[in-house]
Structure 1
Amino acid sequence: MVGSGDVVMIQSAPGTDFWRVTHDGTVHDTGHFYYQQQTGDFQADVKISGDYRALYDQAGLMVRLDEANWIKCGIEFVDGLQHASAVVTRDYSDWSIVRLHNSPASFWLRVQRQGPTIEISYGFDGRNYQLLRQAYLTTVPTLDVGLMCAAPQGSGFSSKFEYLRIQSL
């Protein structure tokens, strides 16, 4: 990870991922996660871009209690296209995606916590956001929150995070 001012560059190692049990029974907890602890309600915003090339290349934000209770969200590269993606894990991972038309050069992500609820939204200009997912995570007050990326099937890729802001609400 390399950071300068409001920019952080991360090179994902090959064979990295976050996933638990669903679909094929495997557990992967090897992705990159750079975080801070956050107590109570918060909002996290970041601008993301990446050199997505291989199936499931992903970059975004993660909110994590432990290895079995977490949410990752952001961009995921599926079938040669960028998708807004959210994985909610409470012992088992689920996955939801929305295709992003025209593979945008960058993507804004917002994650808000209010009590046990996490709300994930995305946009393209840092001002207007569209809801992607709302999910229950936990009532535990302190969680790890930060940047996430992984390259499950490819040789790794570079991702760029700009203007990361995590603030209490």
Structure 2
Amino acid sequence: MNHNAVQLVEVPFPLIPNEDWSWQHDGASVTVTAKPHSDFFIDPSGEGGVAAESLMNAVAVLGDPPTGDFTFSARVGVDFRDTFDAGTLFLWADETHWAKLCFEFSPDRTPMVVSVVTRGLSDDANGFDVDGREVWLRVARQSGVWAFHASVDGERWNFVRAFSFGPVSSDVRVGLEVQSPTGEGCDVTFSDVTFRSVALADLRDGS
């Protein structure tokens, strides 16, 4: 057992850090400060990312979920400082297949739900603005298809996107990631982190 693993009451598997970093956790919540100038992003142009270069150096904790359908959710609060600061729910298959659902600080200095799916190169899709510095995020897996949802109250969920990783979908790990690609770091709190072995009635609705 990794003694640095993040163990949460509502998550039935440990979340293992991708590098030596301080993740504070108390059973249901996790607090962490993003590493300066860090991100996971491979610019779709193949030349340079949003922070002037593609980056693959952010800190994350990841675990292996059980087989079958599930949801993984958290309330995410970010002390935004610089553009693209974010706390994210993170999916990882390998270095060319991963995705994240982000609560991120936009170039207009507006908190926003953003999603990125990487299959060789990353895409980058804005969801919606958030009035405040906290939002609920949710990842769902259903029969090899992934869905991202977000909520401003933790009850009514807004569909963000659905996608597939193809053949590597069965090997995807799930967890948390924090980033500060243009800044010196930001403080992020993940609370009410919850894993449920359930299937949603409809991946595209707000259930």
State TM-score, norm by structure 2. Answer: 0.76
Q: CA RMSD in A?
A: 1.5
Q: Any residues of structure 2 matched to 1:113-124 within 5 Å, and which?
A: 113-124=141-152
Tell me how far apart the structure 2 counterparts of residues 121 and 109 of structure 1 sit (CA, whole Å): 6
Are the aligned partners of 1:44 and 1:110 in contact in 2 as well (CA < 8 Å)?
yes
- AA aligned to 2:74 is V
Match of 2:16 in 1: none
Query: Would you tell me which structure has more strand in proportion to its own residues?
Result: 1
Is 1:37 aligned to residue 64 of structure 2? yes
Structure number with larger C-alpha Rg: 2
Residue of 87, 94, 104 corresponding to 1:59: 87
Post-superposition Cα deviations, 1:112-139, rounded to whole Å, max 9, x if no partner, equal 0112311101001211101011112234
Provide the rounded CA distance (Å) in 2 between the counterparts of 1:57 and 1:24.
22
Query: In the TM superposition, what is the alpha-carbon distance from 1:167 to its structure 2 partner?
Result: 2.6
2:55 equivalent among 25, 28, 32: 28
* Secondary structure, counterpart of 2:172 in structure 1: strand
Correspondence for 2:51: none
The unaligned stretches of length 5 or more in structure 1 are none
Supply the distance in 2 between the matched residues of 1:83 and 1:24 (Cα, whole angstroms): 25
Displaced runs of 4 or more, over 4 A: none
| 1:164 CA displacement | 0.8
Q: Give the alignment's TM-score, normalised by structure 1.
A: 0.93
- Which residue in 2 is equivalent to 1:70? 98
Structure 2 gaps, min length 5: 1-22, 49-53, 199-207
Percent of pairs identical after alignment? 26
CA distance in 2, matches of 1:87, 1:156: 20
Match of residue 48, structure 1, among 38, 59, 76: 76
